[in-house]
């Protein structure tokens, strides 16, 4: 089985990546470059320019000028909407190319990149959804306040105005979808943007930037500065010209962003991952189906490197063995290999550092008392050159073990039994995270009871997906704020109260 990563690179015409600042493409001011490596083969795919602090400064100044003086925030809603809809068309027209670029950058199997919630079709849907808000963003008018506590006779109303310059820092695991989730609402509300993609996945961001250029946004409205967390990301999140930082990634960087935003009282939206439970009751329509979903989330596609993966399976005792059997069975259906082969189901761990971290969790779990049911090792032969890990299932896990508490970000599912609904809710909530949860039951009242009791930003009842119109975000340390739907419009605007005297 020959890997076609470099052939695909040549067919896709990948060029060295550059910065896009103030309407032009340029190299790094200090000549810095970075090598993009595909995790399936660890081959170098291309190089791209690393944005220096000086480059970031130029990008933020351009975005600042475009916001303070340019037409974008002041543009008629109809015209701004037409530009974003042009971009939706361009993303759709280049959909397959974008999906293949995503496979090239982060090793996601092309079958997953083309079909799933992380595809260019999802990115286009998110831009389309937010374009639809543009001529509907409005404030409110309030009834007169009687009796007036100050004696003033006034009409109070609100205006909803764009926040300003947005810094968007995105990770490598769903780079297109997350680019859209941040850039679409920023542009729709009239903000200007500087994006820093992950150094492990900048190719789709570079191509989307070319499409944004083709959609003809006013100069300086959109800027792209590839580069690592330090210096590029640090220069961006600490820049005084930035009004808001929107971030998806690790909790460590999330809290750094929150701290760095303190001095300037910057607005911040954070999405920081999770250790999401799926709760499977004995009256689930299909216990095997629930097991396939949970194991599928951690073993197919990006191999568990997703913030929404339901990596803790809480299973009612009477169906626990059936669940384990079905979950273990699915691990045998995983196919690793050339990410461009449509038959490949599962991708590699993004880099060597993350691979070591994932293997560390797997090696420690049995010493904490977890029972290994499937996986636990890495595929050999030709696959050994890539960062692959076999899907791994641990049973009889106690919720206090580190494999149950920490986000592994790899193909590891832990299962634990529970006796009744109260115990399930208690274990589900015994976590520092609160991003997602799944409930599997045919009892509608129980489904809603559990959905209310679980402290998580999104709860799926017998199903789990992401939708462009649903607010998305986390409770507890899983994040701050919401993006998606009207939640995004609120997150990228300020509310101004306007008070009109009626007695003059």
From the list 72, 172, 361, 472, which residue makes contact with ligand NAP (rule: CB under 6 A)? 172
**What percent of the chain is helix, strand and coil (3-state, nearest 5)?**
40, 20, 40
91 in contact with ligand NAP (CB under 6 A):
no
301 in contact with ligand NAP (CB under 6 A):
no
The stretch among 66-74, 105-113, 243-251, 493-501 that binds ligand NAP (CB under 6 A) is 243-251
Q: Please state the closest distance from residue 424 (CB atom) to ligand NAP, in A.
A: 25
Interface residues for ligand NAP in 311-370 (CB under 6 A)? none
Residue 353: exposed, middle, or buried by beta-carbon count in 10 A (0-12, 13-18, 19+)?
exposed
Catalytic option among 271, 407, 483, 490 = 271
Q: Is residue 26 annotated as part of the catalytic site, yes or no? A: no
Q: Please state the closest distance from residue 320 (CB atom) to ligand NAP, in A.
A: 28
From the list 8, 105, 407, 483, which residue makes contact with ligand NAP (rule: CB under 6 A)? 407
From the list 67, 72, 340, 409, which residue makes contact with ligand NAP (rule: CB under 6 A)? 409
From the list 233, 337, 391, 434, which residue makes contact with ligand NAP (rule: CB under 6 A)? 233
171 in contact with ligand NAP (CB under 6 A):
yes
190 in contact with ligand NAP (CB under 6 A):
no
Catalytic option among 307, 407, 483, 490 = 307
Distance from chain centroid for Cα 473: 10
Q: How far is 295 from 292, CA to CA, in rounded Å?
A: 5
270 in contact with ligand NAP (CB under 6 A):
no
139 in contact with ligand NAP (CB under 6 A):
no
230 in contact with ligand NAP (CB under 6 A):
yes
Other Cβ atoms closer than 10 A to 127 = 29
Polymer length of the chain: 504
Strand partners, 416: 314
Task: For ligand NAP, give the closer residue by CB, 253 or 294.
Answer: 253
Q: How far is 445 from 258, CA to CA, in rounded Å?
A: 39
307 in contact with ligand NAP (CB under 6 A):
yes
433 in contact with ligand NAP (CB under 6 A):
no
Q: How far is 208 from 20, CA to CA, in rounded Å?
A: 11
55 in contact with ligand NAP (CB under 6 A):
no
Q: Is 23 left (phi over 0), alpha (psi -120 to 50) or beta?
A: left
- Does residue 394 contact residue 364 with C-beta atoms inside 8 Å? no
Q: What are phi and psi of 399, to 5 degrees?
A: -65, -10
Q: What is the dihedral of CA 89, 91, 95, 99, to 10 degrees?
A: -170
Place of tokens 């079958």: 111
In which element (H, E) is residue 350 found? none
Q: Please state the closest distance from residue 48 (CB atom) to ligand NAP, in A.
A: 11
From the list 8, 57, 199, 490, which residue makes contact with ligand NAP (rule: CB under 6 A)? 199
Place of tokens 């490949």: 344
175 in contact with ligand NAP (CB under 6 A):
no
Q: Please state the closest distance from residue 391 (CB atom) to ligand NAP, in A.
A: 17
Q: Please state the closest distance from residue 483 (CB atom) to ligand NAP, in A.
A: 12
Q: How far is 276 from 313, CA to CA, in rounded Å?
A: 9
What are the DSSP E strand ranges found in 115-243? 154-162, 165-169, 192-196, 222-224
> What secondary structure letter does DSSP report for 33?
E
Q: Is residue 138 annotated as part of the catalytic site, yes or no? A: no
Q: How far is 353 from 40, CA to CA, in rounded Å?
A: 14
Nearest to 174 by CA among 265, 106, 253: 106
Q: Please state the closest distance from residue 217 (CB atom) to ligand NAP, in A.
A: 22
Could you list the active site residues?
271, 307
Which residue ranges make up the site for ligand NAP (CB under 6 A)? 169-173, 196, 198-200, 228-230, 233-234, 237, 248-250, 253, 256, 271-273, 307, 407, 409
């Amino acid at each position: 089985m020959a890997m076609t990563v470099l052939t695909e690179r040549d067919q896709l015409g990948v060029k060295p990546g550059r910065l896009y600042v103030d309407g032009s493409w340029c190299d790094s001011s200090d000549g810095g470059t970075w090598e993009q490596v595909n995790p399936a083969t660890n081959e170098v795919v291309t190089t791209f320019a690393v944005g220096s602090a000086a480059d970031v400064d130029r990008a933020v100044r351009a975005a600042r000028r475009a916001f303070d003086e340019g037409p974008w925030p002041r543009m008629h809603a109809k015209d701004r909407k037409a530009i974003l809809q042009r971009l939706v068309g361009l993303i759709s027209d280049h959909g397959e190319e974008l999906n293949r670029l995503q496979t090239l950058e982060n090793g996601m199997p092309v079958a997953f990149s083309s079909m799933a919630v992380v595809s260019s079709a999802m990115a286009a849907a998110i831009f389309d959804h937010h374009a639809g808000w543009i001529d509907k963003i409005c404030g409110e008018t309030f009834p007169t306040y009687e009796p007036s506590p100050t004696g003033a006779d006034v009409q109070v109303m609100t205006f909803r105005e764009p926040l300003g310059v947005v810094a968007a820092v995105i990770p490598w695991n769903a780079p297109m979808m997350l680019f859209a989730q941040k850039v679409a609402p920023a542009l729709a509300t009239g903000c200007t943007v500087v994006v820093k993609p992950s150094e492990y996945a900048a190719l789709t961001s570079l191509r989307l930037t070319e499409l944004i250029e083709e959609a003809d946004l006013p100069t300086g409205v959109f800027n792209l500065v590839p580069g690592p967390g330090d210096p590029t990301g640090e220069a961006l999140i600490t820049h005084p010209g930035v009004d808001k930082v929107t971030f998806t990634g690790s909790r460590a960087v999330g809290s750094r962003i929150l701290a760095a935003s303190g001095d300037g009282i910057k607005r911040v939206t954070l999405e920081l991952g999770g250790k999401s439970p799926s709760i499977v009751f004995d009256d689930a329509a299909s216990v095997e189906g629930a097991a396939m979903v949970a194991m599928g989330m951690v073993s197919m596609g990006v191999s568990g490197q997703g913030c929404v993966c339901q990596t803790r399976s809480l299973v009612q005792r009477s169906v626990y063995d059936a669940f384990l059997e079905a979950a273990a069975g699915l691990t045998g259906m995983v196919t690793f290999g050339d990410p461009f082969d449509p038959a490949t189901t599962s991708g590699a761990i993004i880099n060597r550092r993350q691979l070591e971290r994932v293997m560390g969790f797997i090696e420690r779990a049995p010493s904490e008392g977890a029972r290994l049911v499937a996986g636990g090792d890495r595929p050999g032969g030709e696959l050994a050159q890539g960062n692959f890990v076999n899907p791994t299932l641990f049973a009889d896990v106690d919720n206090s073990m580190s494999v149950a508490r920490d986000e592994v970000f790899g193909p590891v599912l832990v299962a634990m039994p529970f006796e009744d609904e109260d115990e399930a809710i208690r274990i589900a909530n015994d976590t520092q995270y609160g991003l997602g949860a799944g409930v599997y039951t045919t009892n509608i009242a129980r489904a809603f009871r559990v959905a209310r009791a679980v402290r998580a930003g999104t709860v799926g009842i017998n199903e789990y997906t992401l939708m462009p119109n649903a607010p998305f975000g986390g409770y507890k340390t899983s994040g701050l704020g919401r993006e998606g739907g009207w939640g995004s419009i609120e997150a990228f605007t300020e509310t101004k109260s306007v008070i009109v005297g009626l007695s003059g």
